[in-house]
Structure 1
């Protein structure tokens, strides 16, 4: 290996992540599971089309997509008392087990001749119940295993794996659906979650520890922690508004391509591919932002994303709007990594699973609600003006967040300096109530 390449690899922010003796054991399982979920994005809707009554397919597709995601918000509260205080590996492992079992029941019911649209929706909903806890478990595991300086690169590894799967998974699903049918693609997804569950069980040391802080805590303790800490509350509000304002794009983009550009689905696919490719690059870049101020970077991502969306809303030629949409994907990708790193820094290890699960439960509602708004908004003003409104609103959101952040920093003075000094020293943040909270983004 050339000397300069060896030095580059040693200096990579990802080296401590992929070389960690425990994390490197579970990354292959995460990659396999992410690929299965990427395929399921197509298979879930395609099977709904086959099972739904004729003439009602649009309704049942929407319900199936909702059933595969939204129950995780209810699961955050329903299972809060049982799961709070468990280790990250336990939470992620139990989510994988439930997903594998519920999704495997779909092809089993199909073979038994019992699969109806109603049963299908019930099984999809059951598979999603622990999803917020599973996501919280993955990011909590990073906080448990790695020092703070490696959190952002580790978060970026997870988001990059997911981004790659969203590019490769759907076309692979299309091939498999044409060969065997959507129910067997869902069976493959179930098998990938079974692999992930075994990975967590065999690759990581078992622990049944429940932190004493969490015993007897309410089902909504994670929301209470967020409400008490301005840093976490500000970040949650920013994320919800950001995702909500992006929601109408899912409605406006197809109509913009067909009605305004008078183009085919091929161009729509090109836009989404460009966004996904940009997101893959952005996920890789995210790990190199570890020396940037996370709060300012997170807000800057919001502003930059809105600016990158402006060419679409302004009706610029495809030669400009298509690269701009790819740039928007690149800017969007690091947001989850930086926002998760802020949560990991602002909450104690004991509180982190409940806090991240609460955060996920709220965020999972933001994009669907925004998408629902997109229907009447496009009907009222048109597809391209809707894209423009979303872009401008996202830029304004980022500027408002920046203004609040500057005002809060000016108001905290020495408190902010104390937090910064504690972070530079490498000490882990203390539980809420024992130390000042970092400034809100």
Structure 2
């Protein structure tokens, strides 16, 4: 629901003529501070088990997001306060996200991790179907601030459920408590060029994606002259496509990893091009759903490579470092999306993101073709068809 509510509330409280920049700032604030938290809070947080990190992130999200409807109710929710509360809520996002996948690596053997990653991705995309559509309906009856309050309650529920996990590993931290863990994580990335290359590709992909979260609300409101319900419909269509794509992971994983990832980036870019056509909204809606379908397997495939190659003692640190790097990409893109949308319009900005993705894929493909002969695929079970359930 926050995919709609955060942007739509920024649209409502923005000063005249500043809607695009404020939406970009809100989207960035909801994500970007997680990168700073992943780097600056590492000495304390990397000592905690994955379960505790998930809880800490959930309680932080709940506390700050819960202040937004309260501030709206008493009439003090100005843009600066709104940005500050969103920023505070995302401070531990990098650690919470990395802990989720570190927990998968702890609890499951290697041949089941890709299936678990796909399950996590699928559950997230299912919520992307229901949440934005529900938010679009609720904005007719209430203000987006109360929807963000529901978002806060969902994090309370996550914290409670994480606390019910078996605590057998609480006496042993996920990674050894050492002040040099961050440097060790950097060493792993430098030593394994495939991880560094994948991180770079994903960062550029997310950077090109960033303006979408700013331009799409303005496309719905200014270009289509519609409300939040139409914005929710677009995100729901993307979620439907992503769920189907994530469920196809069993077939996609049998193909060579890098060509698949590059095709996903390029294919997502092609799916964004219908936004540039002066055609009925159905064309861009179908294109956005196709973009979700293409993108669906990307997260599970890339995270599985990190889980397989990274030493177990450094996994949480490397994933937190990965999150810190990636969390800067989409917010920077969103921050750029504000002025781009003001200058080019929502339609050209959305189609321009597709062009940027295609260019990223083309450049990465050129570098991949010029690479030195690759080592054997490090994924120990990449060729075993039975390691992912047939669903």
If the TM-score is normalised by the length of the shorter chain, which range does it land in? 0.7 to 0.9
TM-score when normalising by structure 2: 0.81
8 Å contact 2:23–2:214 — kept in the other structure? no
Counterparts of 1:280 and 1:75, CA distance in 2: 30
Counterparts of 1:211 and 1:393, CA distance in 2: 38
8 Å contact 2:68–2:77 — kept in the other structure? no
8 Å contact 2:175–2:316 — kept in the other structure? no
Counterparts of 2:197 and 2:294, CA distance in 1: 21
Determine which of 399, 405, 422 is the counterpart of 2:362: 399
Counterparts of 2:143 and 2:345, CA distance in 1: 36
Deviation at 1:406, TM superposition (A): 3.9
1:84/1:43 CA distance change after superposition, 3 Å: same
Q: Which has the higher contact order (CA 8 A, sep 6+)?
A: 2
Partner of 1:81: 43
Point out where structure 1 has 5 or more consecutive residues left out of the alignment: 1-38, 427-441
8 Å contact 2:56–2:96 — kept in the other structure? yes
Counterparts of 2:221 and 2:22, CA distance in 1: 24
Point out where structure 2 has 5 or more consecutive residues left out of the alignment: 385-391
Deviation at 1:348, TM superposition (A): 1.8
8 Å contact 1:85–1:351 — kept in the other structure? no
Determine which of 265, 280, 290 is the counterpart of 2:226: 265
Partner of 2:92: 130
Determine which of 268, 275, 297 is the counterpart of 1:334: 297
Counterparts of 1:327 and 1:293, CA distance in 2: 22
Counterparts of 1:256 and 1:106, CA distance in 2: 25
Determine which of 154, 159, 172 is the counterpart of 2:121: 159
Determine which of 294, 297, 310 is the counterpart of 2:257: 294
8 Å contact 1:294–1:342 — kept in the other structure? no
The reply to whether residue 239 of structure 1 matches residue 198 of structure 2 is no
Deviation at 1:357, TM superposition (A): 1.8
The reply to whether residue 351 of structure 1 matches residue 317 of structure 2 is no
Counterparts of 2:238 and 2:200, CA distance in 1: 25
The reply to whether residue 199 of structure 1 matches residue 161 of structure 2 is yes
1:199/1:382 CA distance change after superposition, 3 Å: closer
1:251/1:150 CA distance change after superposition, 3 Å: same
Determine which of 31, 56, 65 is the counterpart of 1:69: 31
Number of aligned positions between the proteins: 379
Determine which of 318, 323, 327 is the counterpart of 2:286: 323
Counterparts of 2:167 and 2:135, CA distance in 1: 34
Between stretches 369-378 and 348-357, larger displacement belongs to: 369-378
8 Å contact 1:313–1:387 — kept in the other structure? yes
Deviation at 1:127, TM superposition (A): 1.6
Counterparts of 2:9 and 2:284, CA distance in 1: 34
The reply to whether residue 210 of structure 1 matches residue 173 of structure 2 is yes
Deviation at 1:268, TM superposition (A): 6.4
Between stretches 197-206 and 376-385, larger displacement belongs to: 376-385
Q: 2:34 is paired with a residue of what secondary structure?
A: helix
Partner of 1:431: none
TM-score when normalising by structure 1: 0.72
Partner of 2:244: 281
Task: Give deviations 1:411-436, integer Å, cap 9, x for gaps.
Answer: x4xxx13x55956799xxxxxxxxxx
Determine which of 303, 309, 317 is the counterpart of 2:272: 309
Partner of 1:149: 111
Q: 1:408 is paired with a residue of what secondary structure?
A: coil
Deviation at 1:379, TM superposition (A): 6.3
Q: 2:55 is paired with a residue of what secondary structure?
A: helix
Partner of 1:34: none
Which entry has the higher C-alpha Rg, 1 or 2? 1
Partner of 1:90: 52
1:256/1:202 CA distance change after superposition, 3 Å: closer
Deviation at 1:246, TM superposition (A): 2.6
1:302/1:350 CA distance change after superposition, 3 Å: same
1:150/1:422 CA distance change after superposition, 3 Å: closer
Counterparts of 1:186 and 1:393, CA distance in 2: 31
1:103/1:327 CA distance change after superposition, 3 Å: closer
8 Å contact 1:257–1:264 — kept in the other structure? yes
Q: CA RMSD in A?
A: 3.6
1:287/1:400 CA distance change after superposition, 3 Å: same
The reply to whether residue 186 of structure 1 matches residue 156 of structure 2 is no
